[in-house]
A and B are shown apart, each in its own frame.
Chain A
Amino acid sequence: DIVMTQSPDSLAVSLGERATINCKSSQSVFYSSNNKNYLAWYQQKPGQPPKLLIYWASTRESGVPDRFSGSGSGTDFTLTISSLQAEDVAVYFCQQYSGTPCSFGQGTKLEIK
């Protein structure tokens, strides 16, 4: 099974500053057959279910603000929030969906400094 490891576990960033969350998979989630990385990012605010932000490692879900971006390939991925807003306080999870079982990272808690 593929293990997903996020870093850091928690992060405090000032409003308007950049936030960067990393995710590493224990094996590659890139498929050369379709040139896609099977990696998604989710945002979970307190008391709410997770919300899909990014899929295929860098494709933003409809309605997600463009300050959110995803990058990386193979085993190393990054979620970047270019200018942190108060409403971005949440826990962020990465997920690989390249096979069964899919698996999630442990989560990164993002707070305002």
Chain B
Amino acid sequence: EVQLVESGGGLVQPGRSLRLSCAASGFTFDDYAMHWVRQAPGKGLQWVSGINWNSGSIGYVDSVKGRFTISRDNTKNSLYLQMNSLRPEDTALYYCVKARGLYDSGVAFDIWGQGTMVTVSS
């Protein structure tokens, strides 16, 4: 069974850091690009960051550039999101998402994890 399981969310104060992890199983991890997509409570979907199959191409939404870093470890079938200088507006459910192909753009997202909640508040 294809599965993505996120972890690492929680309550954090503004300005602090958090590292999200995503464990993938049931597919050949290094054959696919991966993404993080977030959803604020009661709101829509916002793409946060994506990484291609070999980490050679990475992208971020403007609002997190310089603060968030996406990475992957293909030997561990894992995806990560290091989040620094967190702001209240980063509060959301963060989904780990599998792309339908190798590249971080030009393909739809076919598998979504259940998400991990990040709350930024003092």
User: Do the two chains belong together in a single complex?
Assistant: yes
Interface size of A by Cβ–Cβ distance < 8 Å?
A: 23
Q: Let me know if B114 and A97 touch, CB within 8 A.
A: no
| Minimum CB–CB distance for A53 against chain B, Å | 10
Q: Let me know if B44 and A98 touch, CB within 8 A.
A: no
Interface size of B by Cβ–Cβ distance < 8 Å?
A: 21
Beta-carbon nearest neighbor of A40 in chain B:
B108
- The DSSP consensus for interface residues of chain A is loop
Give the docked Cα–Cα distance between A98 and B62 (Å).
17
Q: Let me know if A61 and B110 touch, CB within 8 A.
A: yes
Known interface pairs A49-B114, A100-B59; A95-B108 also in contact (CB < 8 Å)? yes
A20 at the interface (CB under 8 A from B): no
| Minimum CB–CB distance for B46 against chain A, Å | 7
Q: Let me know if A49 and B115 touch, CB within 8 A.
A: yes
